[in-house]
Amino acid sequence: MTALAALIRRDIRIALRAGGGALIGVLFFVTVVVVMPFALGPDLALLKRIGPAILWLGAMLASLLTLDRLFTADQDDGSLDVIAMSRTPLELTCAAKAIAHWLAAGIPLIVATPLAGILLNLDAQATFAVMLTLLVGTPALTFIGMIGAGLAVTLRRGGLLLAVVVLPLSIPVLIFGVAASNAAISGSAPFGTPFSILCALSLVSFVVGPFAAAASLRQGLD
């Protein structure tokens, strides 16, 4: 556990330093939200209606943008081989790295959501609903994306493979995240059902993701 905690701290420091990628994800998220009102026009009712979908789409793309750094830095400096050969199970190591990525890249997206909500004419209740769904849904994006990152790290042009693998698997998270947000805002549909499914997706990805990523890394490093 001490080794895993040290790995989480190390990855968070790497992600937050210049060029680490975490702050780039936040800037991309805010940029997507800022550009959308210019594309849709000055219809405030329309912005409020589709605001949760814009926020979720921006969060998903921002998460995808930073996932390629999950294993690449370790591959570049040779530490990925050391991690794979250590006595700590590779599945636990992958889980620790995914947790560090979510803390460094996912939490800032949630923190930036109130500012993004103002740009989309969302009130406090709507913004809180989106933040709550992002809090329980973004871990699923990270653990699902970790599978693609494990596949892409040892391949040329792995970024394209990462997008091809991760985006289809992330669609259910996007669907239920937006559905839960809209249900909380409008009250016309039950909030508990899509929110529970979103929580289940995060739990399933937390269990399956590290094993699939570890298998991908072992296959690529052999």
Exposed, middle or buried, 188 (CB in 10 Å: 0-12/13-18/19+)? Answer: exposed
How high is the pLDDT of residue 156?
Answer: 60
pLDDT (mean) for 55-76: 83
Average pLDDT, the chain: 84
Rg from Cα positions in the chain? 18
pLDDT of 144 reads 92
Instruction: State pLDDT tens for residues 84-122.
Output: 787 888 888 889 889 988 998 889 999 999 988 888 888
**Cα–Cα distance, 140 to 123 (Å, whole number):** 26
Between CA 213 and CA 154 the distance in angstroms is 12
Indicate the pLDDT class of residue 25, thresholds 50, 70 and 90.
confident
Q: What is the pLDDT of residue 177?
A: 93
Q: How far apart are CA 193 and CA 33, in angstroms?
A: 27
Here the tokens at position 96 are 């620790």
Q: What is the separation, in whole angstroms, between the first and last Cα of the chain?
A: 27
**Three-class SS of 144-156:** HHHHHHHHHCCCC
- Mean pLDDT confidence for 134-140: 94
Q: Are 56 and 174 in contact (CB under 8 A)?
A: yes
Alpha carbon distance 134, 103 (integer Å): 13
Nearest alpha carbon to residue 62 among 168, 129, 141, 159: 141
Q: At what angle do helices 107-119 and 44-67 cross, to 10 degrees?
A: 160
Using pLDDT thresholds of 50, 70 and 90, give the confidence band for residue 203. very high
What length does the chain have?
222
Q: Which two tokens stand for residue 22?
A: 């975490």
pLDDT class for 19, splitting at 50, 70, 90? Answer: low
Cβ–Cβ < 8 Å for 59, 140: no
pTM of the model: 0.88
The answer, yes or no, to whether residue 18 has pLDDT greater than 60, is no
Q: What amino acid is encoded at 62 in this protein?
A: A
Compute CA 148 distance to the chain's CA centroid, rounded to the nearest angstrom. 12
For range 148-174, the mean pLDDT:
79
Cα separation, 3 vs 92, whole angstroms? 10
pLDDT over 70 (residue 153): yes
Grade residue 196 by pLDDT with cuts at 50, 70 and 90.
Answer: very high
Is 122 in a helix, a strand, or coil? coil
